[in-house]
Structure 1
Amino acid sequence: MMAKVDLYRISLRPFKMSDVDDFLLWAGDDNVTRNLRWKTCDSREEALTFIRDVCIPHPWRRSICLDDCSIGFISVYPWSGDDRYKADIGYAVATNFWGQGIATKALKTAVPQVFEDLPHLLRLQAFVDVQNKASQRVSSESSLTSKGLLRILFCIVFCRWMKFLLMTNLRNI
């Protein structure tokens, strides 16, 4: 078991190509990616491609860092058209850092920054698998409130029907 991490050492920053080895440690772990919208990275080359083509050009994807080493991510997926006032938010942290408050710290840091960086947003929302109790805790401890159970939602990534809690945070106006 690792020593508890001092949360002051946690930061958010855009991804860099030099993150590839750290990125692969957690993005190559099925335990981390099982609840994400993307599949596990199987090789260094695949990780480099993902960072270059997805992470870096993304409008709001940040690396969760411990002493500037990537140990996870937070990503915001803005909607468009009539729904452009809202965005989905997702996050993950390497398994050896689970249960230490890192995801909570990162999400608490990210929420006000997202509203500042994307001023048209009024609502951030997370779809949390009802079986993922840890993610429910992270969301609720980070100012997202439960808006109810989405009884059945087809998850294209996993090709199955799942139950999700809808957790939201509204911009203070």
Structure 2
Amino acid sequence: MCYEDAINFINTIVIPHPWFKAICLNGQPIGAISVTKNSDNNKCRGLEAIVDAENVGSQRVLEKVGFQREGVLRMYMILKGKTRDLVMFSLLSSDPKS
């Protein structure tokens, strides 16, 4: 994805999307969160999260609110010019409430 494609994606998809928001700290974006409708009625998964493997703080937050660690997606994304591992978490409607 080139710079122009990224800017176009942000302007046309991210900004107008009602459930895709940046997480900011001191006015600087440090992450993002999105919620999407599950259109497949056969799936039980209600919510999932993917976090940089080095972002231990975000992993702890997800675990505190009831998410369960599923596994590591190895070399899943290029972030800041480096190929990164991401950790997949899930929250199922059948999971005990925390």
Q: Which residue of 2 aligns with 1:139?
A: 62
Q: Deviations over 1:89-110 (max 9, x none)?
A: xxxxxxxxxxxxxxxxxxxxxx
Map of 1:169 onto structure 2: 91
- The one-letter code of the counterpart of 2:90 is T
Gaps of 5+ in 1: 1-49, 65-69, 86-119
* Aligned equivalent of 1:160: 82
Distance 1:54 1:164, change over 3 A: closer
Detail structure 1 runs of 4+ shifted over 4 Å in the superposition: 50-53
More helix by share: 1
> TM-score of the superposition, structure 1-length normalised?
0.34
**Aligned partners of 2:14 and 2:21 also within 8 Å:** no
Query: Which residue is equivalent to 2:17?
Result: 58
Q: What corresponds to 1:113 in structure 2?
A: none
Q: Relative CO higher for 1 or 2, CA cutoff 8 Å, sep ≥ 6?
A: 2
Match of 1:111 in 2: none
Cα distance in structure 2, aligned partners of 1:143 and 1:122: 14
Is the 2:77–2:86 Cα contact (8 Å) retained in structure 1? Answer: no
Inter-partner Cα distance in structure 2 for 1:53 and 1:124: 20
What is the CA distance between 1:63 and its match in structure 2?
A: 7.7
Supply the distance in 2 between the matched residues of 1:127 and 1:53 (Cα, whole angstroms): 19
Q: 1:78 to 1:160 in 2, by over 3 A?
A: farther
| Count of aligned pairs | 80
Unaligned runs of 5+ in 2: 1-9
Map of 1:124 onto structure 2: 47
* Correspondence 1:1-173 to 2 at 5 A: 54-55=14-15, 57-61=16-20, 74-77=33-36, 84-85=39-40, 122-155=45-78, 157-172=79-94
User: Match of 1:166, as an amino acid?
Assistant: M
2:4 matched residue in structure 1 = none
Q: Distance in 2 between matches of 1:160 and 1:131?
A: 12
Please provide the CA RMSD for this pair: 3.7
TM-score (norm 2): 0.55
